[in-house]
Every structure is written in C-alpha cells, then in structure tokens.
Amino acid sequence: MKQQANEPTRRGTGLASRLLVAQTLVLVAGTLTAWLIAANVGPSLFHTHLASTNVGSTPSQIAHAEMAYQSANAISLSLALLAALVAALAVSVYQTRRIGRSVATIAAAASNVAGGHYDIRVPGPGLGPEFDALASAFNQMADRLGSVERTRRRLLADLGHEMRTPVATLEAYLEALEDGVATLDAGTAELLRSQTRRLARLSEDISTVSRAEEGQVRLDMVTVQPELVVAAAVNAAAEAYEVKGVRLVSNIAGGLPELSLDPERIGQVLGNLLDNALRHTPAGGTVTVSASISRTGGVALSVADTGDGIPAEHLPHVFERFYRVDTARDRTPGGSGIGLAIAKALVEAHGGQLTVTSAGTGQGSTFRILLPGG
C-alpha cells in the first residue's frame, strides 16, 4: 500500500506567509489607490455637474450639496472598500494556505525520498494542472527511484551469487593443494583456469554493459552486408549446437540492404542471443536465425527457439541484469547472467531496438533486432 506524505506540523514564515503578505500589500495598495482617486476625482466631477445643471441658487446651497456628496461618498466608499478588502483577504488566506500546504507536503515527501523512503506518494492538490503535473512527476520520480533501488539491491545480491561459486571452488582447491589432499594435475589446473575465466568474463561483461548503457562503448562503424554478419555468428555457434543436438537453421532473405554498423558488436549480440537460445532449448529442438528487410527500410534480425518459453509476467524484465525467469533454478554454467542486457545495450547503441515475444511456458521465444537503414 502506498504511503501518503505527511504534512509538516510546523509552519513558519514560509511560502504561504510570504504569499499572504504580498497579496495583503497588493490589496492595501489597491484600496488606497481607489480611495485617493475617488476622493480627488469625485467631488470635482460632482461640482461640474452641479454647475452645468444650475442646481442650488446660492453658494452656500452648492457648498452644502457638495459636502453632503462628499460625506455620503466617503461612507459608502469606505464600507465598500472595507468589505472588498475583508473578502479579498479571506480568499487570499484560503488560497495561500492551500498552496503552502501543498508545497510543504511535496517538500516533506522529497525529504522522505532523500532518506530512502521511495514508497512516498503525493496526492494531487487540486490547484490546477501545473500543481497536478508537479505531483504526478514527483510520484513518477519516486517510483522510478524505488525501481532503481530494487534493481541495485538485486544486482548486488545476484553479483554476489555469481561470484560465490567460482570463488568457493578456487578456495576449496587451493586449500586442498596446500593440505596435500589434491595434486596440481592437468584436470585440476584446467578446472582452476575455467573458474578464473568465469570471473574474468563476469567482470568484462559488467564493464561492457555499463559502458554501453552510458553511451561510452566504442563502435567501429563500417558498411557491411548484414547476411555476412549473421552467417559468421551462425558458424561460430554451430559446433556447440551440434554437441547438444539442437538444430540451427538460417533463413536469410535476398536483397538485404547494406548497413552501417560495428560487425564485431552485432556479432556479439547475435552470439549472446544464440547462446541464450541454446541454453533454453532441449536436445531435438530448433533455433532459427532470420534476416529480412524491415518496414522502415532497415534490417530485421530474429532468433527464434522452440525451447522453454517465457511467461508473460517475465517478458518486461528479461533484459535486466541477472534477471532469472525461474529463480529456483541455478544458472547454467558458463553464462554471466547479463548477456541479454549487453545485447540490448549494444543494439540501442546502434540506434536500433531489441524486443522479445513468447507465447508462454514451453512455447519457445523470439528475439527481434531492428537495425536502421544506412
């Protein structure tokens, strides 16, 4: 349940007080201006009208009429201005208190968010579209920060999980070697090297995805035929597919346009997608790599498998670092857990898009790359 930001109990000379003082000064200035103009202009106009209409036969009668007008005018104007001033002040107090309360609520919520309470939400103050937009933007910011914090915590936890196995293996074998329980034969040496390579790959992958997401990855752009990049990726993965007994099929359309891209990086993307498809496709299954002209004149690449499939609730998260569709299952050895995150970041660095679709568990999945035309 979302927590509402509490209003502060203390109100000093803040925004509301300053607004009230400013509006009071405006009202007082307007009242004095109206009084001075009426007091100076009204009698003169009244005297002119008396003279033009020949009202009053003697100067004393004219003077008496003017004094009567001035007295009536002063009383009625004073009462009118006083009533208007009181009404305007009441409205000003009401509005400034509402504005001040809304600003104070947002300030208190911002303070809570700064303290790590990302479940804070600010209700719409109902003071117009500007304040409602401010409250909505604040809530979106708090929600985004909460999502980032949850991702960060999960990232650290999963990173620790990924490192624990190779580190524990290295430590156990080193202790066994020190105690003389094990000998440094070829098998032990290869096992130790495999664990160090796993740690090195994990470090390199984290560095790659971080640089790519921050727009700092280097792309050596050249004009190439996309079918050559696809063929190279398929050939590189062919042996691993043959060993596991999974069919690897290429379906490349003719007449593909040349693209400006980094062949090594796009090859890395396809390699990660093919590796992911192989891990989640059982023996006897099929993985199909396709290439065709997209609707926008670029090239659409896809890697479709007949494997495990992805439930609908997990589809929005598959490109997150270390995300597991099945948290109860240990990750397949050899994967760093961020191959899809790297693929998405590299595709977007080329100005393209990487998406995934799946009909559900056991129905396979399809990853699509859209690359803009050169």
Tens digits of per-residue pLDDT, 201-253?
Answer: 677 767 766 666 666 677 888 999 999 999 999 999 999 999 999 999 999 99
- Pull the structure tokens for residue 77: 């104007």
pTM of the model: 0.53
- Give 105: exposed, middle or buried? Use CB within 10 Å, 0-12, 13-18, 19+: buried
**Percent of the chain having pLDDT more than 70?**
66
Distance CA(162)–CA(160), nearest Å, equals: 5
| Stretch 38-44: mean pLDDT | 63
pLDDT in tens, 329-344: 444 444 556 778 888 8
What residue segments make up the domains of the chain, in order of their start?
Answer: 3-127, 158-213, 222-371
Residue 92, pLDDT above cutoff 80 = no
Residue 328 DSSP class: T
Q: Are 309 and 361 in contact (CB under 8 A)?
A: yes
CATH class of the structural domain 222-371:
alpha beta
pLDDT in tens, 140-168: 888 878 777 776 776 676 666 667 767 88
Q: Label residue 70 by pLDDT band (50, 70, 90).
A: low
Q: What is the pLDDT of residue 6?
A: 46
Distance CA(86)–CA(24), nearest Å, equals: 10
Q: Are 138 and 106 in contact (CB under 8 A)?
A: yes
Q: Label residue 81 by pLDDT band (50, 70, 90).
A: low
User: What totals of helices (H) and strands (E) does the chain contain, helices first?
Assistant: 7, 9
Distance CA(140)–CA(120), nearest Å, equals: 11
Lowest mean pLDDT among 34-43, 189-198, 226-235, 357-366: 34-43
